[in-house]
Amino acid sequence: MKKRINGVFSVLMTPFDGNRVDYDVFAKQVQRLSGTDVAGYVVNGSTAEFVHLTKEEKKKLVETVTLNRDPDKLVVVSACEPNIADTYDICAHAAAVNADAMLVCPPYYFKHTTEEIKQYYTELADISPLPVILYNIPFFTQELELGVIYELMNHKNIIGIKDSSGNMKRIMHLIDKAKDTDFSVMTGTDDMLLPAYVGGCTGSMTALATIYPEKITAIYKSVKVGDIEKARVVQHSIMEDLRTADSQSFPEGYKRLMEEVSRIKFGDKEV
């Protein structure tokens, strides 16, 4: 039986020292979240610049999280590879080091038909040793059509979706279709946490939950107890920082904000 995932998840960033991943700094980032109310960590997501990482680096980052995790928090591993073989390899490794779920975007570079995308997810979910969370991020990949998601909701090993489209109309349709199921609908957009939570999203997976875990969890918890005014105030308190971060190249703006808030140096990969 499926189990809903709920709460605020922190999307981790990758610190670099030149072309080298700085695993010690990465561990500090994970440890900084211990004792906070975030529900878990997302490893190797878009903000982590996974496209700049080798497969070995991605695996070592997952291992670093599982070694430094708060035992009460979940570890979600992004497996955004352009083919099913490499995606499954990431899934198998994540299961071997005791991660909890996979976040999987559509296969990219070539444009695929809706049937091909549905087949990709179905075949992966059939063999994945960990439950799969769909990842809709149309800025970087082909958008997952609602009809495909509605069909994939029924797969026993597909437990939810992270939707980073920023499209509240679309998200409300997902929430409505999932309302009588145990399929989770998560937003990936910090700018719209308040309306997403009020609308019925079960949680979020965002970069600002790594930078400001207390603020992002405060929005979530306030909505849960019906204190919409407090949630509104906290949501507005992060908007200027979001504008500043988004005015720079992604994800550089978020890394600079993280450095300013945490005093942890993240650096940038030399390209």
Give the pLDDT of residue 111.
86
Write out the chain in H/E/C secondary structure: CCCCCCEEEEECCCCEECCEECHHHHHHHHHHCCCCCCCEEEECCHHHCHHHCCHHHHHHHHHHHHHHCCCCCEEEEECCCCCHHHHHHHHHHHHHCCCCEEEECCCCCCCCCHHHHHHHHHHHHHHCCCCEEEEECCCCCCCCCHHHHHHHCCCCCEEEEEECCCCHHHHHHHHHHHCCCCCEEEECCHHHHHHHHHHCCCEEEECHHHHCHHHHHHHHHHHHCCCHHHHHHHHHHCHHHHHHHHCCCCCHHHHHHHHHHHCCCCCCCCC
Q: Measured between alpha carbons, how far is 147 from 114 in angstroms, rounded to an integer?
A: 9
Residues 177-188: what's their mean pLDDT? Answer: 96
Q: Is the per-residue pLDDT at 269 higher than 80?
A: no
Give the pLDDT of residue 270.
56
Give the pLDDT of residue 2.
67
Tens-digit pLDDT profile for residues 79-94: 998 899 999 999 999 9
All domains of the chain in start order, with CATH = 7-262 (3.20.20.70)
Q: Which of 101-110, 171-180, 181-190, 221-230 has the lowest mean pLDDT?
A: 101-110
Averaged pLDDT score across all residues of the chain: 94
Q: Which of 6-15, 137-146, 217-226 has the lowest mean pLDDT?
A: 137-146
Give the pLDDT of residue 110.
85
Q: Is the per-residue pLDDT at 188 higher than 60?
A: yes
Tens-digit pLDDT profile for residues 32-63: 999 999 999 999 999 999 888 999 999 999 99
Tens-digit pLDDT profile for residues 8-21: 999 999 999 888 99
Res. 232 pLDDT band, cuts 50 70 90:
very high
Q: Is the per-residue pLDDT at 243 higher than 80?
A: yes
Give the pLDDT of residue 140.
85
Give the pLDDT of residue 4.
80
Residues 200-216: what's their mean pLDDT? Answer: 98
Tens-digit pLDDT profile for residues 60-80: 999 999 999 999 999 999 999
Q: Is the per-residue pLDDT at 271 higher than 70?
A: no
Percentage of the chain with pLDDT > 70? 98
